[in-house]
Each structure stands twice: as structure tokens, then as C-alpha cells.
A and B are shown apart, each in its own frame.
Chain A
Amino acid sequence: MRKHQIYILLFAILFIGCKHETGWVFDHEIILGDVDPIGLVVRNDSLWVSDVKNNRIVVLDFQGKFFREYPGFQRPMHINLYGPKIFVPEFATDKLWTINGVETDTISLMEKPDGAAGVSVKGGKIAIADFYNHRIILTEGKRTTIIGKEGHNDGELYYPTDVEIYANKVYVADAYNNRVQVFDFNGKALGFIGEMDNINVATGIAIINNKIFVADFEGNRVLVYDLKGELLQTLNSFLDKPTDVFVFGERLFVANYGSGSVSVFIKQGL
């Protein structure tokens, strides 16, 4: 009987806990100073931000205290973290750089983009958002797959700015089609996300723990979806021209290009 009561109590606690999950709430803002942020990633206790105006990557703590900078990048855009490396696409030169500790290196690309806007690296795969060619360049070793072409229909892209490889799919911030488009590794279009949500320039994308985060640049919002494309939450406060999103533990970081800051949200109800 006592054991039975404990099970009921545990179930009740779980049920109440789930009922109180309301998603992400604003916690604080990190002022970056003289930084025009585009991409951001978080590693350990540091925030890595691409500063497109000043052609550098800056590293800060969660209060905005400056740690160090990596200068000399030509218009760095949506950066990516994979293993120990930070991947940096250069919009001006179309080169892809890696930062590993204090060392920087370039990765040679078989297919050259025109406006390397974003990068995602998973396993041996590298996906690059090719802004002016309206496509994604997916490479694995010597194999290159071109995903998408210019247009507004299924399988077509219009100025893509970011990309994410997740669970054997390629998710594209199809910026000026105002949606996220999903492809398989062969370039077959699988569907859209956010097409009915009045996104106004889908600039950045991040996928973590089966949640898709989309930065709506002109709409000053971050939209949170599940993998089926169901809208779970819309964040529309404390954002100013958001360009990128990153989730680290129980914290959600959003780069604000408009105000040169990073907004930090925390999970509520868990």
C-alpha cells in the first residue's frame, strides 16, 4: 500500500512539473561594446562571437568581460562549434577557417561559395550556406552535394544565411523565403518549418535536444519548434535584430545585431 502511494506521489510530481514547463524566460543581457555580432557559440564558460564589423572573433565571459580576440577574419558570419574547433566562414573571401586553441587554419573547398554565410559541421560532413548562389554546399571527403537552387518553391532557396546538420537532415535558414527548409543528404526537399508564422528574414538557426530555434531578424523574434515543425514558443522581448541562437545547458543565448548584445534566456519550470 505504501509503495503504491509513493508511485502515485511520484506521478503527481512529474505531472505537475510538466504542467509548469513554460519554456524560456529572459534572464539578462550581455552588452558586447564595440561588436556587431552575427554568429555565436558557447564553449565551457566562454561566449564566442563573430564581430562582422571589426573582422574578428571575440571571446567573452557570461558577464561580457573580454577574454581574447582572433583578428584578421574578413567579414566572419555564422560560426559553428564542433569538437575542439570553431569553424568560421568568411563572407568577403569565401574561405572557411578553423580555430583550435591559438591556432587557425583554412579548409580547402572543392566548390567555392559566393558569400559564405553559415557553416555546420557534423562527423565528416561540412555544410555551407552559399548566400549569393542560393544553395547549400554539402561536402564529405571528396564528395560534394549541391542542395537547392534559386527560387521560392519546394527545394528552392532564396539567400540562405545559416545551416544546421541534425539527425541526418540539413536544416536551412532560407532567409528571404522567410522559412526553414529541410533536406536530406542527397538534396531532396523534405519540408518547411515556420512557413505560416510570418517570419521576416529567417537569419539564424540552431537545433539542440530536438528543438529548432529560428532567429527572425526583422521580426525581432526567436521561434522555437519541435522537429515536426510545431511552434512551441515565440520569444519577442529583449531582442533587437537577432541573428543567431545557441543553447548551452539551461541557457539560451541570442545574438542581437541591432544593439550589439547577447540576450540570455533560462528554462523555466524544469
Chain B
Amino acid sequence: MKKLIVIISFFVFLGTVHIKAQAPLDTLVHKKVEVRVDGLSCPFCAYGLEKKAVGIAGVDSVKIDVEKGLMTLKVKDGKVIAEDDIRKQVKKAGFTPGEISYPDPD
């Protein structure tokens, strides 16, 4: 019986590891998220994007690089930012969201 419990526990552990390995990228914990946004030329657009992005759950601060067309979101400690939320807010700001990447995956 004891042996059976050990075997079951082992398989449960393996299953957990597998689930974690298969977890989608946007549910992992990251410190920063980078989002490509084209057409960021005027200050109203850039600061408008900032205005919308600070409203995303889990965002600590927002940095916009107009020249590179890049928005960097600093994530609050222990929080996760959903990619869908990012895309939604970028669209609200009047832009088409581009590639979302994670410069410092944990």
C-alpha cells in the first residue's frame, strides 16, 4: 500500500512538471514585457498608448520608445500580465498590436 502511494505521488509530480512546461507563455511570471507597436509618431499617440497601458492589470510602469516603436511594460512583483489584455489596450489606444516578447524570462 505504501509502495502504491509512492508510485502515485511520483506520477502526480511528473504530471505537475509536465503541465508547468506546457503552460502558455503569457501565464508565466516575467519582469518585463515588450510589445511592438507601429505608427507611434506623435506625442498624443505615444502618451495615449501609455495612458491605456497603465490600466492593464499587473503593470507597474510603462516606457514607450517612439523611435523603435516599442512599448516596455514593467510587471508588478509576482503578477502576471495577460497578452489578451495587452492587445485589447493597444487597440483601445488606436494601434494594431505587434509581436509580444519577454526580454527576461524567469
Residues of A within 8 A of B (CB): 36, 38, 52, 75, 77, 91-92, 115, 117, 131-132, 159, 161, 175, 201, 203, 217-218, 243, 257
| Nearest CB in chain B: distance from A95 CB, A | 13
A75 close to B42 (CB less than 8 A): no
B44 at the interface (CB under 8 A from A): yes
Name the residue on A nearest B45 (C-beta).
Answer: A159
Check if B94 sits within 8 Å of A159, measured CB to CB: yes
> In the complex, what residues of A have CB within 8 A of residue B47's CB?
52, 75, 91-92
If A92-B50, A115-B51 touch, whether A243 touches B43 (CB-CB below 8 Å) is: yes
Q: List 11 A-B contacts (CB under 8 A).
A: A36-B43, A75-B47, A75-B51, A77-B44, A91-B48, A92-B50, A92-B51, A115-B48, A131-B44, A175-B44, A218-B41
Listed in ascending order, the chain B residues whose CB lies under 8 Å from chain A are 41-44, 47-48, 50-51, 54, 92, 94
- Nearest B residue (CB) for A77: B44
Check B43 against A38 for contact (C-beta < 8 Å).
yes
- Tell me which residues across on chain A come within 8 A of B42, comparing CB atoms: 175, 201, 203, 217-218
CA of A92 to CA of B49, assembled, Å: 10
Q: Chain B's nearest CB lies how many Å from the CB of A254?
A: 15
Which residue from chain A places its CB closest to the CB of B48 in the assembled complex? A115
The answer to whether B44 touches A91, judged by C-beta atoms less than 8 angstroms apart, is: yes
CB B29 to nearest CB in A, in angstroms, measures 27
Decide if B41 touches A117 in the complex (CB within 8 Å).
Answer: no
Question: Taking the nearest CB of chain B, how far is it from the CB of A157, in angstroms?
Answer: 13
- Give every chain B residue within 8 A of A91 (Cβ-Cβ): 44, 47-48, 51
A203, B51: Cα distance in complex, Å: 19
Cβ of B92: which chain A residues have Cβ within 8 Å of it?
Answer: 132
When distances are taken between beta carbons in the complex, the residues of chain A under 8 Å from B50 are 75, 92
A residues less than 8 Å from B43 (CB atoms)? 36, 38, 52, 243, 257
Closest CB in chain A relative to B86 CB, distance in Å: 18
- Chain A residues with CB under 8 A of B48: 91, 115, 131-132
CA distance A132 to B50 in the complex (A): 13
| Bound CA span A105–B61, Å | 27
Determine how close the nearest CB of chain B comes to the CB of A130; give it in whole angstroms: 12
How far is it, in angstroms, between the C-alpha of A218 and the C-alpha of B42 when the chains are bound? 8
**Distance of B84 from chain A, by nearest CB (Å):** 20
Chain B residues near A201 (CB-CB < 8 A): 41-42
Complex Cα gap A52–B50 (Å) = 12
Shortest distance in angstroms between A218's beta carbon and chain B's nearest beta carbon?
Answer: 7
Give complex CA distance A75, B48 in Å.
10
Residue among B41, B42, B43, B94 facing the most chain A CB atoms (10 A cut-off): B43
Nearest opposing residue in chain B for A162, CB measure: B44
Minimum Cβ distance to chain B for residue A58 (Å): 16
Bound-state Cα–Cα, A218 to B45, Å: 13
- Complex contacts, A159 vs chain B, CB 8 Å: 44, 94
A161 to B92, CA, bound (A): 17
Distance (whole angstroms) from the CB of A257 to the closest CB of chain B: 6
How far does the alpha carbon of A75 sit from the alpha carbon of B53 in the complex, in Å?
Answer: 14
Nearest-Cβ distance from residue A160 to partner chain B, whole angstroms: 10
What distance in Å separates the Cβ of A163 from its nearest Cβ neighbour in chain B?
A: 13
Q: Is the CB of B44 within 8 A of A161?
A: yes
